[in-house]
């Protein structure tokens, strides 16, 4: 068992940029693509992950010190420290649950495919850490009970597969070149019900129901001011100005403030270009998979390839709304009563909130912003609520792996992260297990089974 655990821990430690080229090359060979073409597809995906990491790293490194200065000037310190997604992933994978999450979830996926309960083949192996995270939190919360840990992870995985099936057609219709793709990532899918309900409710709000401005409409109506590139520059300059405590400092920091604006503009402009690499790597795999399914099972048999949401985070509406929400979320964190979480390191993950929101708002900037405002407000409370057990889990992992700096919680603080702790799906599982115990487990089991059976009937129709 230790050997198997070590093998999977080693594979996971390679990171997405190395894992995904290997996975895509093997998958391509299995579905009949020539090695050179499969390997090239995998390399494009790997390069995409590298590029995305560089750009989000630029965002974090540029905004981090400035936002820390804003926190210092305005006294915004709260009790829950933003550890960012690396801490959550480290907690996720440095447990027995995390070490075996990939083979266990792949087995569950295969079983559901054989039984006709899902159409999604989830090959987004790097993001399996989301399932491992909720499993790890429950694992530590229940006194290191590995069975409850796997229970929570599998429940999350199965629900996510069903949600990926449900949203696949809408996702493929909204985003170009995404035929045959679904998004089985629980952080993104957790916000989908909010998007569907809020978007429907806005149809009945006078004034708002008449506003229909997407990213192209913004460019036409506002010209240069509607461009994500220009908005990035402006928001960056505004945040830079807020980090100055007086007029003298504001004047002295003009070069740094302008540089921050340019960097934010660069992030807005480069992310869409980088995500195009994912699409270029994906297309041969997706096309070959559809052809294989058509040959083996008939043209009426449809399967979806479950892929990373990184494919589509470069959509202009996602960029614009995410950028606008960064300062707004900081204000929410301070003014919301009872919230103790101040997001800083996690803000780079804001783009992923809107992947499954846009297909329901049809890319409407105002509606997407309203949905984002609501889910961020709710998400801050979710992170605060989970912080005690997140802190305990991080402390346990830190004790076992003292060299892992990602899980070192600063003294006097509790641990938190937007991804994946702010997701409604994560909170439903966590709260059910923590506050309802066996009753919660029974409700989660019955609800998940009912959802799977409903999805099977829907597929068969």
Condensed to tens digits (0 to 9), the pLDDT of residues 232-246 reads: 898 889 889 988 988
* 226: confidence class by pLDDT, cuts 50, 70, 90: low
CB count in 10 Å sphere of residue 103: 12
Across the beta sheet with 304-306, the strand order is 120-122, 304-306, 181-182
Q: What is the pLDDT of residue 48?
A: 84
Q: What is the pLDDT of residue 125?
A: 81
Helix (H), strand (E), coil (C) string for 264-297: HHHHHHHHHHHHHHHHHHHHHHHHHHHHHHHHHH
Backbone angles phi, psi at 415, to 5 degrees: -100, 145
Per-residue model confidence as pLDDT tens digits over 285-306: 777 877 776 676 665 678 898 9
Per-residue pLDDT averaged across 199-216, rounded? 87
Q: Over 70: is that where the pLDDT of 264 sits?
A: yes
Q: Which two tokens stand for residue 273?
A: 């270009």
DSSP state, 343?
Answer: -
Q: Over 70: is that where the pLDDT of 62 sits?
A: yes
Q: Over 60: is that where the pLDDT of 2 sits?
A: no
What average pLDDT does the chain have?
88
Most distant pair of Cα atoms in the chain: their distance = 72
Helix (H), strand (E), coil (C) string for 345-356: HHHHHHHHHHCC
| Dist CA 60 CA 83 (whole Å) | 12
Per-residue model confidence as pLDDT tens digits over 316-361: 899 889 988 988 998 899 899 999 998 988 887 889 999 999 999 9
Lowest mean pLDDT among 124-138, 266-280, 380-394: 266-280
Per-residue model confidence as pLDDT tens digits over 71-114: 888 777 789 999 988 889 889 988 889 888 988 999 999 999 99
Per-residue model confidence as pLDDT tens digits over 102-161: 889 999 999 999 999 999 989 888 889 999 999 999 999 999 999 999 999 999 999 999
Residue 334 or 378, more confident? 378
Q: Over 90: is that where the pLDDT of 215 sits?
A: no
* 405: confidence class by pLDDT, cuts 50, 70, 90: confident
What does the domain layout of the chain look like in residue ranges? 2-460
Residue 382 or 224, more confident? 382
Contact status, residue 317 vs residue 327, Cβ threshold 8 Å: no
Q: Over 60: is that where the pLDDT of 1 sits?
A: no
Helix or strand run (H / E) with residue 435: helix 424-460
pTM of the predicted structure, to 2 decimals: 0.88
Q: What percent of the chain has pLDDT over 70?
A: 93
Backbone angles phi, psi at 81, to 5 degrees: -85, 135
Sole residue written with tokens 């069975």: 147
> 3-state class of 306 per DSSP?
strand
* 389: confidence class by pLDDT, cuts 50, 70, 90: very high
**How is 51-110 classified by DSSP, letter by letter?**
HHHHHHHHHHHHHHHHHHHHHHHHT---SEEE-HHHHHHHHHHSSHHHHHHHHHHHHHHH
Q: What is the pLDDT of residue 53?
A: 80
Q: Are strands 120-122 and 304-306 parallel, antiparallel or unpaired?
A: parallel
Residue 69 or 373, more confident? 373
| Dist CA 433 CA 407 (whole Å) | 24
Q: Over 90: is that where the pLDDT of 193 sits?
A: yes
Q: What is the pLDDT of residue 374?
A: 96
Per-residue pLDDT averaged across 415-442, rounded? 94
Q: Over 70: is that where the pLDDT of 3 sits?
A: no
**How is 135-161 classified by DSSP, letter by letter?**
HHHHHHHTTS-HHHHHHHHHHHHHHHH
Q: Are strands 414-416 and 181-182 parallel, antiparallel or unpaired?
A: unpaired
Q: Over 70: is that where the pLDDT of 225 sits?
A: no
* 9: confidence class by pLDDT, cuts 50, 70, 90: low
> Pick from 210, 223, 205, 163: which is nearest to 356 by CA?
163
Contact status, residue 390 vs residue 85, Cβ threshold 8 Å: no
């Amino acid at each position: 068992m230790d050997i198997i655990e070590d093998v999977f821990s080693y594979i996971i430690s390679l990171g997405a940029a190395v894992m995904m080229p290997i996975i895509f090359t093997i998958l391509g060979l299995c579905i009949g693509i020539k090695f050179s073409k499969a390997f090239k597809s995998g390399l494009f995906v790997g390069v995409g992950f590298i590029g995305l990491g560089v750009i989000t790293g630029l965002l974090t490194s540029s905004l981090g010190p400035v936002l820390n200065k804003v926190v210092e000037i305005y006294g915004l310190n709260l009790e829950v420290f933003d550890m960012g997604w690396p801490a959550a992933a480290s907690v996720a994978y440095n447990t027995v649950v995390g070490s075996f999450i990939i083979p266990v979830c792949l087995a569950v996926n295969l079983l559901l495919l054989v039984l006709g309960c899902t159409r999604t083949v989830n090959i987004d192996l790097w993001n399996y850490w989301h399932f491992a995270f909720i499993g790890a939190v429950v694992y530590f919360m229940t006194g290191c009970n590995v069975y409850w840990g796997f229970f929570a992870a599998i429940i999350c995985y199965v629900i996510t597969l069903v949600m990926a099936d449900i949203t696949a057609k809408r996702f493929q219709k909204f985003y170009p070149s995404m035929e045959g793709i679904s998004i089985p990532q629980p952080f993104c899918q957790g916000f989908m019900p909010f998007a569907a309900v809020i978007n429907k409710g806005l149809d009945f709000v006078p004034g708002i129901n008449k506003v229909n401005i997407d990213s192209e409409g913004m460019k036409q109506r506002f010209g240069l001011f509607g461009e994500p590139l220009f908005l990035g520059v402006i928001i960056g300059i505004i945040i830079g100005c807020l980090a100055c405590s007086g007029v003298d400092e504001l004047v002295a920091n003009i070069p740094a403030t302008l540089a921050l604006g340019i960097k934010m503009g660069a992030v807005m402009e480069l992310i869409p270009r980088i995500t195009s690499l994912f699409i270029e790597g994906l297309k041969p795999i997706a096309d070959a998979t559809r052809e294989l399914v058509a040959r083996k099972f008939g043209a009426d048999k449809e399967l979806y390839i479950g892929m990373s949401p990184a494919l589509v985070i470069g959509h202009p509406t996602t960029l614009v709304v995410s950028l606008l929400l960064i300062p707004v979320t900081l204000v929410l964190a301070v003014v919301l009563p009872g919230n103790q979480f101040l997001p800083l390191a996690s803000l780079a993950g804001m783009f992923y909130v809107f992947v499954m929101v846009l297909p329901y708002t049809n890319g409407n900037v105002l509606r997407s912003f309203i949905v984002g405002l609501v889910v961020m407000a709710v998400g801050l409370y979710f992170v605060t609520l989970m912080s005690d057990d997140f802190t305990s889990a991080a402390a346990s992992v830190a004790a076992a792996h003292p060299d892992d700096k990602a899980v070192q919680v600063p003294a006097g603080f509790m641990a938190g992260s937007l991804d994946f702790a702010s997701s409604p799906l994560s909170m439903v599982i966590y709260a059910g297990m923590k506050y309802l115990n066996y009753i919660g487990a029974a409700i989660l089991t019955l609800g998940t089974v009912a959802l799977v059976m409903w999805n099977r009937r829907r597929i068969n129709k």
